[in-house]
């Protein structure tokens, strides 16, 4: 495994590879969710590259950039054991030199949900992912369903800018109690950690109502709220039953499946999760 810190060095190492390349972009502090993306990339590509970069432009001024967890030596051990060939771990100045001045702005799908809660977040995400695609030259790039809106934003960017990369979305990896694995879970104190599976319980409850025939989007949103309300440590930021392509809230009956998603704060820690409801024969548009 080679770890490269500069764009020039990475491109040189990449040029030595033949066959297809899969890219897994991460902010490090790796867990099973990231490693699942690596496994999927290995299954589908000749070589795998992982980027580790805590991207400052996707953090708001009051967010957790300074305290975002980092452990590069441990990350590199995990990636070596996972058979990764190339790691790109640049410094901030390598990605954003002092005279940097170009940003990628994806419209519409960045407006609701996380975009409303975190102004500028998706501009930072789209910009860094576009840069990574240009630097790495991957055939496929792997993203987690846990960050559902991010996958919609990236797909839109790839379509709009004709980026020559295939986007693959990998199902969310969870703890035994249903909590979606996240680098941010380390922020939770024991009481918050015990309460956090309420996100998954709420999503499962609403998905079950849908399975049983409930089709009304507002009722499913209310069902999410009802379960979350049972957990006093959970401060709800939003619940959503949205069109999976436009991310607009569905009003009335669900016709093409829906993305149920939610964001919940435990103290200063924000957690997100989601499920996609399968489009049902009885509700086909
Ligand atoms: P991050 O390091 O948090 O920016 O995540 C890097 C990539 O890993 C993103 O595409 C995430 O969606 C994905 N990811 C994070 N957590 C999980 C998880 N629990 N299951 C699957 N993918 C995940």
CA distance 72 to 29: 7
Identify the domain boundary among 170, 197, 230: 170
pLDDT at 211: 94
CA distance 103 to 139: 23
Q: Which of 34, 47, 121, 270 is catalytic?
A: 34
- The answer to whether residues 196 and 125 belong to one domain is no
How many folded domains does the chain comprise? 2
- The answer to whether residues 235 and 100 belong to one domain is no
Question: 129-173 pLDDT, tens per residue?
Answer: 999 999 999 999 999 999 999 999 999 999 999 999 999 999 999
Active site residue 34: yes
Per residue in 100-122, is it b (16+ CB within 10 Å) or e — as a string?
A: eeeebebeebbebbbbeebebbb
Pocket of ligand 1 (CB under 6 A): 26-27, 33-34, 36-37, 143-144, 146-147, 170, 172-173, 180-183
Q: Are strands 269-277 and 2-4 parallel, antiparallel or unpaired?
A: unpaired
* In the predicted structure, residue 285 carries a pLDDT above the cut 50: no
47 and 20 in contact (C-beta within 8 Å)? yes
What CATH number is associated with residue 223?
3.30.1300.10
Pocket test for ligand 1, best of 33, 88, 132, 143 (most atoms within 8 A of CB): 33
17 to each of 1, 51, 52, how far by Cα in Å? 12, 17, 20
Q: Is residue 226 part of a domain?
A: yes
Identify the domain boundary among 170, 198, 225: 170
DSSP 183: G
Q: Is residue 122 part of a domain?
A: yes
**Sequence-ordered strand ranges (E) for 53-165:** 86-88, 140-144
pLDDT band at 255 (very low <50, low <70, confident <90, very high): confident
What CATH number is associated with residue 104?
3.40.50.620
pLDDT at 205: 98
Mean pLDDT of 252-265: 94
- The answer to whether residues 135 and 188 belong to one domain is no
- The pTM assigned to this predicted structure is 0.97
Pocket test for ligand 1, best of 89, 146, 149, 167 (most atoms within 8 A of CB): 146
Identify the domain boundary among 170, 197, 216: 170
Planar angle of CA 215, 221, 224, nearest 5 degrees = 115
Question: 163-187 pLDDT, tens per residue?
Answer: 999 999 999 999 999 999 999 999 9
Domain that holds residue 233: 183-276
* In the predicted structure, residue 224 carries a pLDDT above the cut 80: yes
- The answer to whether residues 125 and 256 belong to one domain is no
pLDDT band at 280 (very low <50, low <70, confident <90, very high): confident
CA distance 32 to 37: 9
Q: Is residue 216 part of a domain?
A: yes
């Amino acid at each position: 495994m080679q770890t490269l810190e500069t764009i020039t060095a990475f491109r040189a190492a990449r040029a030595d590879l033949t066959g297809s390349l899969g890219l897994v972009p991460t902010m490090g502090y790796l867990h099973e969710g990231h490693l699942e993306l690596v496994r999927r990339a290995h299954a589908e590509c000749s070589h795998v590259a992982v980027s580790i970069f805590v991207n400052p432009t996707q953090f708001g001024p009051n967010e957790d950039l300074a305290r975002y967890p980092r452990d590069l030596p441990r990350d590199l051990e995990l990636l070596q054991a996972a058979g990764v060939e190339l790691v790109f771990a640049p410094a901030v100045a390598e990605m954003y030199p002092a005279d940097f001045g170009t940003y990628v702005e994806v419209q519409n799908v960045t407006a609701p949900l996380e975009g409303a809660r975190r102004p500028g977040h998706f501009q930072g995400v789209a910009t860094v992912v576009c840069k990574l695609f240009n630097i790495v030259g991957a055939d496929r790039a792997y993203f987690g369903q846990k960050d559902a809106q991010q996958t919609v934003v990236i797909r839109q960017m790839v379509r709009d800018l004709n980026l020559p990369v295939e986007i693959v979305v990998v199902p969310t990896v969870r703890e035994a109690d249903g909590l979606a694995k996240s680098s941010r879970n380390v922020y939770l104190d024991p009481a918050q950690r015990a309460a956090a599976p309420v996100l998954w319980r709420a999503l499962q409850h609403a998905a079950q109502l849908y399975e049983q025939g409930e089709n009304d989007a507002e009722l499913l949103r209310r069902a999410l709220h009802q379960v979350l309300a049972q957990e006093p440590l959970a401060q709800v930021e939003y619940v959503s039953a949205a069109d999976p392509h436009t991310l607009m809230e569905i009003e009335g009956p669900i016709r093409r499946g829906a993305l149920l998603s939610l964001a919940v704060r435990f103290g200063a820690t924000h957690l997100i999760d989601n499920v996609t409801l399968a489009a049902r024969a009885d509700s086909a548009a």
